Chain A
Amino acid sequence: MSDAAMVDPVVSLHNVTKTYIRGGTEVSVIRDLSFVIPAGTFLAIMGPSGSGKSTLLNVMAGIDRPTSGSVVVAGTRLEQLSEGEMARWRARHIGYVFQTYNLIPVLTAAENVELPLALTHLTRRERADHVKTALRLVGLADRMDHYPRQLSGGQEQRVGVARAIVSDPTMILADEPTGNLDRESADDILTLLARLNRELGKTIVMVTHDPRAAERAQMIRHLEKGLLEMPP
């Protein structure tokens, strides 16, 4: 990690804990976790099922709140934000890629990608331009008017990536983005993410089970029982 990156982290967590009450007993999913992610990093988080990877990602994405500790992402202390402010903050700073793509079935590829722009003040024309650029970037400019059911899983996930980047967010968070894909489509998505990181300088945090996927990242962290372990 370079010094410059240490000075300007996109994510910094301090003593973050997340506990659930299950069957009367407290279960810690994340325990006293502190770390930083420098801007421009492509980080992979690995770990066994139930180790809290998704929970951690969701805390960074501002869609889940930690039980205690502080989370600073893109210069904002998330615990200070109200729910409405958090939503606006997410629209501005977070691009989220889902394992199950989560495209809206009644909207076309272009409309799905346009969705986050409905929360901006861009004109109709600007929105159309952004959508086209994003779809071109993922290689689906010719599938604009297709509905999700008319696309393959790999194509759907590429639309998912286009939707995540169309509003030019500070950071892209991906929860097992290749988990439902075959090898070839998975490679396409990983190549795409690596390119977004390299060429556009996007900070990317990707949760994955797959060691081959993790290898495409610059940095791998393992989460074991709520604790991050440094790679050997």
Chain B
Amino acid sequence: MLWSVYSLRNLWARRVTTLLTLSGLGLVVFVFVAILMLAHGLERTMGRTGDPSNAILLSKGALSEIESSLSRDQTGVLAAQLDVVTLEDHQVAAVREIALQLTLRKQDRGSLASLSVRGSSPVAFAVRPRLRIVQGRVWQPGTTEVIVGSQVARQFPEARLAETLRFGRREWTVVGIFEAEGSGFDSEVWGDVDQMMTTFHRTAFSSMTLRLADPDGLPAFKARLEHDPRFKVSVKREPEYYEGKAEGLARLIRVTGLFLTVVFSVGAILGATMTMSASVAHRTTEIGTLRTLGFTRSHILQAFLLESILLGLAGGLLGVAAAALLNRVTISTVNWDTGAELAFGFHLTPGMVGEGVLFAVFMGLIGGLVPAARAARLEIVQALGERTA
């Protein structure tokens, strides 16, 4: 009790230095937590893309839709599988799509931005029932009408109802805005698949997404199709496909972030060490006094470690509090795999709060180790002899 009062008051007595050290520790924790939040936000966004009842078919060996190519003949046979849901209008719940990455000039600032475009057909809304048109309507098949995801609508001023987007040397009229529950589809522009194929001289589809009557039957379905010599396809559950696409970027964010954090933390730890060393040097006589009163070397070690741990704790709380301000802030970035612009948010979890604070405490502890050990090693008579008074 008296011991922690003692540590806290000493930190307060040197409050300017304490505050500087705190900011250093806090900054590192801020960066650390912000990066975890970012990577997590990305995974959340991508993990929400797609429906677990759906299977996405790509050509064998393709890691993403961009690399994949499925011929018209193949897709016809593939869509006729009995596992696929049949809709009320006797249509099969299967959508053949092409995925494109385009670069276009934003109208407002003239800056170049990258855009994901999907050629699809209205049955896509039956295959992905969680998608909703929030403004306007779906495009008319066979026309150059398009609908835009809510994030595209936010980022491109020209992506508004009745406005036109220019790509592929054609003009595309925006007739609707759709929402996909914060998933990656929100960052896409959708239009008629045949128009897009003509415009971009494509003869093959990128993917086909099927709604399965029995979602649990996916492994069997996958095994059957992948081993059928007539097709050269790979089958994945739709959310798993999108999560996989996020994995690379999320890992890159984490690795870069952790590298940065480690570099910064060396600085913060050195800062804590310097602060604590100055404190020990300043309080040498005090240490001799405490030892004379009967406190042991281990008491001295504890007192200084407690002080640096408290320093770390306060820095950690500061950093986490600052990072919490980022919670739900949405940023837009380029998806590494596809080059498309993708919007996702910082997302704080209780686990990250714990990890951030623990990390700061750890930095404080490491930073305090050497000075505290030096304080504990002092001989009483020598310590008392160094009169600072």
Contact = CB atoms under 8 A, between A and B. Distances in A.
Interface of A: 58, 61, 63-64, 83-84, 87-92, 94, 96, 98, 100, 102, 104-107, 111, 114-116, 118-119, 163
A118 B2 CA distance: 8
Nearest to B12: A106
Contact of B285 (A64, A102, A107, A119): A102
Contacts of A119: 293-295
Contact of A64 (B2, B293, B295, B380): B380
A64 B381 contact: yes
Contacts of A88: 294
Given A63-B381, A102-B285, A104-B289, A87 B294 contact: yes
Most chain A CB atoms below 10 A, which of B3, B6, B288, B297: B6
B238 to A, nearest CB: 62
Given A63-B292, A105-B13, A107-B6, 17 more contacts: A63-B380, A63-B381, A64-B381, A83-B296, A89-B294, A90-B294, A91-B293, A96-B292, A98-B292, A102-B286, A102-B289, A104-B6, A104-B286, A111-B2, A115-B293, A116-B293, A116-B294
A60 B71 CA distance: 98
Nearest to A104: B286
Given A102-B286, A104-B6, A92 B294 contact: yes
25 contacts: A58-B380, A63-B291, A63-B292, A63-B384, A90-B293, A90-B294, A91-B293, A91-B294, A96-B293, A98-B292, A100-B285, A102-B285, A102-B288, A104-B286, A105-B13, A105-B286, A106-B6, A107-B2, A107-B9, A114-B2, A115-B290, A115-B293, A118-B3, A119-B294, A119-B295
A102 B385 CA distance: 12
B160 to A, nearest CB: 64
A106 B294 contact: no
B292 A90 contact: yes
Interface of B: 2-3, 5-6, 9-10, 12-13, 285-286, 288-297, 380-381, 384, 387, 389
A191 B297 CA distance: 35
B107 to A, nearest CB: 63
A102 B284 CA distance: 11
Given A102-B285, A106-B9, A84 B387 contact: no
Nearest to B296: A87
A49 to B, nearest CB: 14
B40 to A, nearest CB: 42
A106 B3 CA distance: 12
B88 to A, nearest CB: 78
Contact of B296 (A84, A105, A111): A84
Contacts of B3: 118
Nearest to A61: B292
Contacts of A102: 285-286, 288-289, 384
- The residue in B286, B290, B296 that gathers the most chain A C-beta atoms within 10 A of its C-beta is B296
Nearest to A103: B289
Contacts of A63: 291-292, 380-381, 384
A102 B380 CA distance: 13
Given A87-B291, A100-B389, A104-B289, A115 B2 contact: yes
Contact of B289 (A84, A89, A92, A98): A98
Nearest to A96: B292
Contacts of A87: 291, 294-296
Contacts of A83: 296-297
A88 B387 CA distance: 25
